[in-house]
């Protein structure tokens, strides 16, 4: 789905992404790990044009991503889940989920409601449809955020450290939902610090450091037999 070739991103003088080349195939679950400041989130944000690449080329299904592209269309197909959930606080859970389908996809209210309820069922929060986000725990909010992203029926989902803002005991529920998604065949790119999740669910793990992909491969290879010493040092610290 994505062909990425020598992608680079600078913020002023700060060189966050230096040269990233990789492909992402349909149905694949890619986990990106690495120390903070390594450019993981920036890389993810380049895939839906929240950041515009400053060098290199990114193709989505053959279409090049640049400042001229209609990013709205791209984002309808490539959904995103944030570290801090970013639910709309003035809407109920249900409205958070149905808002974009109704206003962007011109879905009928009833149909959107049905879709939202089935998604809430899927993330285990069907009883929370009519409450406001602030009354939910972080884990519940994140699951609503996942349902909200799914309601646009995207081709793939980007996860930007989806469990990093959660209390440890709430992480499991969110990861469970993500595992289920992966099992359903959703294409996912997940920036994460959850090594267990990466090991169990990822088809491919990418270790990034200082704006480069240092090492990539299937999880067994990265976790059990890392080649690069920076990967070894990082994993020694987090595992």
Partner 1 sequence: MNTLMQLHFGKAAELLVPSLMHGFGVVIQATVLGFLLATIIGMMIAIGRLSSLKIIKGILYVFLEIIRGTPLLVQLVYIYYVVPLLINLLASLFGYKIDMQIAPLTAGILGLGVNYGCYMSEVIRGAIIAVDSGQTEAALVLGFGKYQALFRIVIPQALRSIIPSLGNYLVMMVKDTSLLAYVAVNELLLRTQSFASQTFFTIESYTYLALAYLVISIPLSHLVKFIEYKLKTNRR
Q: Which is nearer to partner 1, 148 or 204 (CB)?
A: 148
Residues 148-167 close enough to bind partner 1 by CB under 8 A:
148-149, 152
* Contact region with partner 1 (CB under 8 A), list: 4-12, 23-31, 60-68, 75-83: 75-83
Residue 109 binds partner 1 (CB under 8 A)? no
What sign does the CA torsion over 43, 48, 54, 60 have?
A: positive
Chain-centroid distance of CA 60 in Å reads 16
The Cα–Cα gap between 117 and 133 comes to 16
Indicate the SS3 state at residue 187: strand
Q: Which is nearer to partner 1, 103 or 108 (CB)?
A: 103
Supply φ then ψ for residue 30, to 5 degrees.
-110, 125
CB of 156 to partner 1, least distance (A): 12
Nearest Cα residue to 159 out of 203, 196, 207, 193: 193
CB of 50 to partner 1, least distance (A): 6
CB of 46 to partner 1, least distance (A): 13
Residue 104 binds partner 1 (CB under 8 A)? yes
What is the spatial order of strands in the sheet that 14-24 belongs to? 63-64, 55-60, 2-11, 14-24, 212-217, 204-209, 29-33, 187-191, 156-160, 78-81
Q: Which is nearer to partner 1, 83 or 232 (CB)?
A: 83
Residue of 10, 76, 221, 230 that binds partner 1 (CB under 8 A): 76
Nearest Cα residue to 144 out of 161, 166, 129, 160: 129
Q: Which is nearer to partner 1, 158 or 206 (CB)?
A: 158
CB of 172 to partner 1, least distance (A): 24
The Cα–Cα gap between 211 and 19 comes to 7
Q: Where do we find the tokens 């993330």? A: 123
Residue 79 binds partner 1 (CB under 8 A)? yes
By the 10 Å C-beta count (0-12 exposed, 13-18 middle, 19+ buried), 144 is classed as: buried
CB of 199 to partner 1, least distance (A): 28
* Contact region with partner 1 (CB under 8 A), list: 5-13, 58-66, 143-151, 228-236: 143-151
Residue 40 binds partner 1 (CB under 8 A)? no
Contacts with partner 1: how many residues (CB under 8 A)? 29
Q: Where do we find the tokens 């790119």? A: 189
Q: What is the binding site for partner 1 (CB under 8 A)?
A: 48, 50, 71-73, 75-76, 79-80, 82, 84, 86-90, 99-100, 103-105, 132-135, 145, 148-149, 152
């Amino acid at each position: 789905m994505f062909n990425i070739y020598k992608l680079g991103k600078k913020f002023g003088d700060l060189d966050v992404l230096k040269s990233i080349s990789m492909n992402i195939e349909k149905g694949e679950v890619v986990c990106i790990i690495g120390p903070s400041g390594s450019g993981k989130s920036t890389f993810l944000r380049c895939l839906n044009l929240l950041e515009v690449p400053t060098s290199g080329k990114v193709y989505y299904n053959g279409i090049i991503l640049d400042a001229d592209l209609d990013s709205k269309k791209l984002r309808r197909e490539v959904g995103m889940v944030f570290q801090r959930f970013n639910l709309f606080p003035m809407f109920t859970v249900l409205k958070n989920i149905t808002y974009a389908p109704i206003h962007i996809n011109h879905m009928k209210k009833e149909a959107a409601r049905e879709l939202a309820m089935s998604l809430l069922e899927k993330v285990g929060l069907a009883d929370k449809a009519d409450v406001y986000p602030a009354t939910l725990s972080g884990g519940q909010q994140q699951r609503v955020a996942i349902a909200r992203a799914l309601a646009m029926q995207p081709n793939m989902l980007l996860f930007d450290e989806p469990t990093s803002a959660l209390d440890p005991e709430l992480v499991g529920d969110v990861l469970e939902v993500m595992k289920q998604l992966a099992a359903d065949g959703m294409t996912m790119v997940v920036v994460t610090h959850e090594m267990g999740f990466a090991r169990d669910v990822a088809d491919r793990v990418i270790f990034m450091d200082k704006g480069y992909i240092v090492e990539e491969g299937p999880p067994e290879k990265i976790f059990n037999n890392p080649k690069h010493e920076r990967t070894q040092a990082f994993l020694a610290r987090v595992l």
